[in-house]
Amino acid sequence: MTILLEATFPNALDALVDRLAGPAGAGALVEAWVFEDFAARHAAEVALATAGVSAHIRSAYKPLLHAFLDDFDLAGVTAIDIATPSHPAGSARRFALEAYPLAGLVTVPVRFSTGSGAGAALLDYDVVLRHPEGDRHHRVFAPNSLRANGTLTSPGWLRITRAGTRFEDHALPTEFEQV
């Protein structure tokens, strides 16, 4: 057997916790999207909370699907409407395909439409959870970055806010992009 590549890459989530668990992160509100499972993301949130950092760490892999698995309460929901992102560099069906297998995981009708693709919503899913007591509206960010070759790819992402001002909002390099 021939070894073509032997390399070690730093874990993006570990590096993020190391960076923000000290004085640099104190008092910050952190939103991050990484390619880690729920247990690893939750452990990082707990570690950051211990250091005084409020963090919500989401999955960068299929962010819409994981919003339903991790964040949304579907009790009493009668239908779900989803407007998918519409980015000029992405294919018309790409974001709907990334929602698979959402329709099979819920017990109510799911309707998809293409979003307007206006402004900040270029990379957001607009989700409406239909409920007899009133609809609940959610916006789910789908981290993507436009590469030099014109390809729209899914990276990690980092947003840091302090005192109501967002001062970081950018792709977060992950070990998956380095391979």
DSSP 8-73: ----HHHHHHHHHSSTTTTT-EEEEEES--HHHHHHHHHHHHHTT-EEEEEESSSHHHHHHHHT--
Q: Are residues 167 and 114 in the same domain?
A: no
Residue 38 maps to a domain? yes
- Please state at what angle helix 12-20 crosses helix 38-50, rounded to 10 degrees: 10
Question: 121 pLDDT exceeds 60?
Answer: no
Tell whether 12 is covered by a domain.
Answer: no
In a domain? residue 122: yes
Amino acid at 66: H
User: Looking at the structure, do residues 138 and 176 belong to the same domain, yes or no?
Assistant: no
Q: Is residue 100 part of a domain?
A: yes
Q: What band does 115 get if pLDDT is binned at 50, 70 and 90?
A: confident
Same domain, 165 and 131: no
Domain that residue 93 falls in: 74-144
Tokens standing for residue 62: 């299929």
Residues 135 and 172 in one domain: no
Look at residue 125 in the predicted model and tell me its pLDDT.
94
Query: How many folded domains does the chain comprise?
Result: 2
Measured CA angle at 126 (ends 112, 58), to 5 deg: 110
